[in-house]
Chains A and B, each alone.
Chain A
Amino acid sequence: MSNRLTGSPAHRLRLERVPSPSRGATALVTVLSFALALLAGGIVLALAGENPIAVYLAMVKGAFGDRNGVAEVLVKTTPLLLTGLGVAVAFRMQLWNIGAEGQLYWGAIFATGVGLFVLPAAPGWVLVPAMIAAGLLGGGLWGLIPGALRAWFGASEIITSLMLNYVAILFSEYLVHGPWRDPGAFGFPGTPPLPAAGWLPNLGTTRIHLGLLFGLIAALLLWIMLRRTRWGYEIGVMGENPRAALYAGMPTKRTILLVMALSGALAGLAGMSEVAGIGHQLQRNLSPGYGYAAIIVAWLGRLHPFGAVLVAFLLAALTVGGDQLQMNLGLPAAIAPMLQGAILFFLLGGEVLTRYRLTRVIG
């Protein structure tokens, strides 16, 4: 035993904490994590017998090859941005809301309900705002449930918000298969189309719709809220040090409820904008997992609203590229979430290098 110990000193590497990471390092790590994830994804593709370069080229071409591709990227950016913003604001407070998917569905359900049954004959200037309000409300209420369970019973919002995703999706399936099913349509289950007055206007002849603007406005408002208001400051303090928030007399429970409601409302708006801007009806598989990708949008965007805009765009491109693969090469679109997960891994690993520095010591 002691022989091993008294052996010659060896050079070792050690992680050492850096007080505050620089902005440059943070940006570099984000870019690198993207690149490394693509590299690792390429290896998986190669092992699975695909030509990674061809696959990536096809994805880039699918996303940016023509006007339609770019438009489709912006169409997908919309729900990713809105849900990502919702997740980011909750994560800022260390509230791990991973229920954006379910909250999106409830926003869609409420908005559809208003369009089909509450105000079916209203003019656009009434119906669209009413549907927006309904979407915010539906998602907000659904987000409030895990918030309340957390605030009052201490139950982990991670698990409750996730379980509620399944419940929300099953409920929307029930509606489109059952009471809300369009009796005139055969085959694909869905509700009857919304009245045209409730459709969000498109940009020119593209599928890009007003929802994108909602997302950008939401990002701006959120940034102002977080940076410039008392409430934003309170959220920051509660996220960084909940005990200090109690000490300063901040209303923790109320803020948990409000933040979860806001987080859900933003996801609900995403759901509303999907039905009112794209499908014009509530249908099965409304979201291909936007609510989960939102987690990546939020974290990769450093929980910053403008960061979310950028990352939502990039992930949208990845998704559109993945869809193109499915259509053109017959490869599963699942390549996109696989790469998204990998990007997050590399980012998490890389972040360590901004917080710590590797030093060589003699020991």
Chain B
Amino acid sequence: MSQHLITSSPSSSPITSSPQHPSTHRPAIAMRDISKRFGTVIANDRITFDASWGEVHALVGENGAGKSTLMSILAGLYRPDSGAVEIDGQPVHFRSPRDAIGHGIGMVYQHFMLVEPFSVAENVVLGERRSGVNLETARVARELTALSEKYALGVDPQAKIWQLSVGEQQRVEILRLLYLGARILVFDEPTAVLTPQETHGLLRNLRGMAGQGFSVVFISHKLDEVQEVADRISVLRRGQIVATTTPAATDRRTLARMMVGRELADFVARPADEPRAEVDRGGAMLELRGLSALGEKGLPALREIDLEIRSGETLGIAGVAGNGQRELAETVTGLRPVTAGTVRIDGKAMTNRPAAEITRAGVAHIPEDRLATGLIGGMDLSANAILRDYGQPPLCHGPFLLTRAVSAFTDRLLTANDVKAPGRWTKLRTLSGGNQQKLLLGRELAGEPRLIVAVHPTRGVDVGATEAIHDALRAQRARGAATLLISEDLDELLALADRIAVLFAGRIMGTIPTASADREQIGLMMAGIESREAEVVMDV
């Protein structure tokens, strides 16, 4: 299990077009003056970027800096408005991902490009450029098994994608690219969904692939990982490359400053052991006993969860995506039926009460996917601002909404939370992610909630807005609110939570006070390994 990918020599590679040896840092990719505009947003502004054979080139930048756009252009998914791309010295014009695959470019997207009801082998066949009628899944499965064994990827070609964990799905993506003959591998934020141990294994694999002659592009905003794995680092800010450097020539603080364009104390993960203001703790605000619930597919998603959060306390929930986080938040807020166990809020039984009643009991909910759940993209800011309070005075009188009161309420909310928008009549969808989240957060926290359920509150939000959101959550804690903070970002949990509970396969693996938390231990628990004594080290 501890053996990891690519230890063999290049000559034994089963890949038809074997990657060149990292002899002379010949450029594998050269992108010149690439520009790409989405409506009024310039995602890429005359970017020049290259990566050599045998090199790991990291591309760092904030959310929205244009990293994914640039790589989607390389993968043939987007077409640039202007600029040129060369592969191995030859100019290319990709019209579709098919062309890019044909040139040996393989991309592991942030959201995996796998068809869930299909098996691993079927997903691979989908990308094969072979003509012919029959599926030949048997042949492909045989070859995949061999390839998987060779690189110790541990992928079962017959498994259906939806049965696999996130980490396994990522290995399916890698296996598929190897099978399809990719020589240039692009990883878009690959570690965001992994446990620390899996991350470690993946980073070693990236180095191993570069050692074999592959060209690897690694997109991330986690600077310690970048420092560990990269040969070169390019920093992207607001659609432009602001620097290209090496790990030796820089440090995390400098990189962070270049990414954001200003000094930012908080960005380099706030030390976990920083003393936390003591808050007067009350009794249990949220109490879960034996809580169980089903997921979307009707399978158990939460199994006998016991949790307790007191006033003025923040409980962080760590875990790899898809281990019951969404279901936990939804059962507490009344959006998903509880199949067994109890929910008590401030001592009152709230099991399977309607969402509206739970809200009235002083529960705020910052949902996982703001545009899908918490906001209405196609309606104006007023309609979004009043979503919680439209049924109460002063916003309504009898069945009628009072236009003037709604306007005043909206303007107040926008000003108080520094939401930058042309006006309250603007459609919500046209706001940036950060401004959308500030509006949502402001709305949810306006009523001085006693319990806050926050799920990935800073996902897809730029650094400035992240700071503002963290400050708001800290202020709520200081005010005495209990917070259930669900996040995939361990740094965020370490910075905000008093205790961290780890969720795996719908169970709480354990709860640790943040002060004594150790990333390795949390990582093991995220992988489902319960005790410290466990000697097995999970690898990718």
Contacts and interface: CB of A to CB of B under 8 A. Distances in A.
B379 interface: yes
B81 A362 contact: yes
Given A229-B399, A233-B390, A241-B377, A6 B102 contact: no
B16 interface: no
Contact of B427 (A20, A246, A247, A250): A20
B400 A230 contact: yes
A243 B373 contact: yes
A109 to B, nearest CB: 31
Given A7-B93, A243-B373, A230 B391 contact: yes
B515 interface: no
Interface string A221-238: 000000011111100110
Contacts of A334: none
B459 interface: no
B383 A237 contact: yes
A17 B354 contact: no
Interface in A1-57: 1-2, 5-7, 9, 12, 14, 16-20
Given A1-B102, A9-B93, A18-B39, A228 B427 contact: no
Interface string B27-40: 00000000000110
Contacts of B386: 233
A237 B82 contact: no
A133 B93 CA distance: 68
A2 B391 contact: no
Contacts of A240: 376-379
Contact of B39 (A19, A249, A361, A362): A19
B244 interface: no
Interface in B243-274: none
Given A5-B94, A246-B335, A363-B79, A230 B429 contact: no
B430 A20 contact: yes
Contact of A247 (B91, B94, B374, B430): B374
Contacts of A231: 399
Interface string B354-367: 11111100000101
B131 interface: no
A248 interface: yes
A6 B383 contact: no
A5 B95 contact: yes
Interface residues of A, number: 33
Contact of A5 (B93, B333, B400): B93
A244 interface: yes
Contacts of A248: 355-356, 359, 387-388
B354 A249 contact: yes
A203 B365 CA distance: 57
A246 B373 CA distance: 8
B66 interface: no
Contact of A16 (B39, B357, B376): B39
A330 B387 CA distance: 57
A157 to B, nearest CB: 21
Nearest to A238: B376
A241 B99 contact: no
A362 B373 contact: no
B334 interface: yes
B383 A230 contact: no
Given A229-B399, A241-B377, A363-B79, A247 B93 contact: no
Interface residues of B, number: 48
B519 to A, nearest CB: 33
Interface string B378-408: 1100010011101100001001110100000
Contacts of B355: 246-249
B9 interface: no
Contacts of A16: 38-39
B326 to A, nearest CB: 12
A19 B427 contact: yes
A13 to B, nearest CB: 12
Contacts of B400: 228-230
B79 A361 contact: yes
A2 B390 CA distance: 60
Interface string B325-362: 00000000111000000000000000000111111000
B279 interface: no
Contacts of A18: 39
Nearest to A19: B430
Contacts of B373: 241, 243-244, 247
A233 B391 CA distance: 10
B435 to A, nearest CB: 14
Contact of A361 (B81, B374, B399): B81
A230 B399 contact: yes
Contacts of A236: 379, 383
Nearest to A361: B81
B12 interface: no
Contact of B372 (A9, A17, A243): A243
A143 B335 CA distance: 28
A249 B90 CA distance: 58
Interface string B425-455: 0010110000000000000000000000000
- Pick the most buried of A229, A243, A249: most chain B CB atoms within 10 A of its CB: A249
B92 A2 contact: yes
B80 interface: yes
A2 B104 CA distance: 12
B334 A249 contact: yes
Contacts of B388: 248
Nearest to B334: A249
Contacts of B359: 248-249
Nearest to A14: B79
B233 interface: no
B77 to A, nearest CB: 13
A7 B95 CA distance: 11
Contact of B401 (A1, A14, A229, A244): A229
A227 to B, nearest CB: 9
Contact of A6 (B93, B358, B391, B396): B93
B45 to A, nearest CB: 16
A310 B90 CA distance: 60
- Pairs of residues from A and B, 9 with the lowest C-beta to C-beta distance, nearest first: A249-B356, A249-B355, A19-B430, A363-B79, A241-B376, A240-B378, A240-B376, A229-B399, A243-B373
13 contacts: A1-B102, A6-B92, A228-B401, A229-B400, A233-B386, A241-B373, A241-B375, A244-B374, A247-B365, A247-B374, A248-B359, A249-B359, A363-B81
Interface of A: 1-2, 5-7, 9, 12, 14, 16-20, 228-233, 236-237, 240-241, 243-244, 246-250, 361-363
Given A5-B92, A236-B379, A237-B387, 18 more contacts: A2-B102, A6-B92, A19-B429, A19-B430, A228-B401, A229-B401, A230-B390, A231-B399, A233-B401, A240-B379, A241-B372, A244-B374, A246-B335, A246-B355, A248-B387, A249-B357, A249-B359, A362-B82
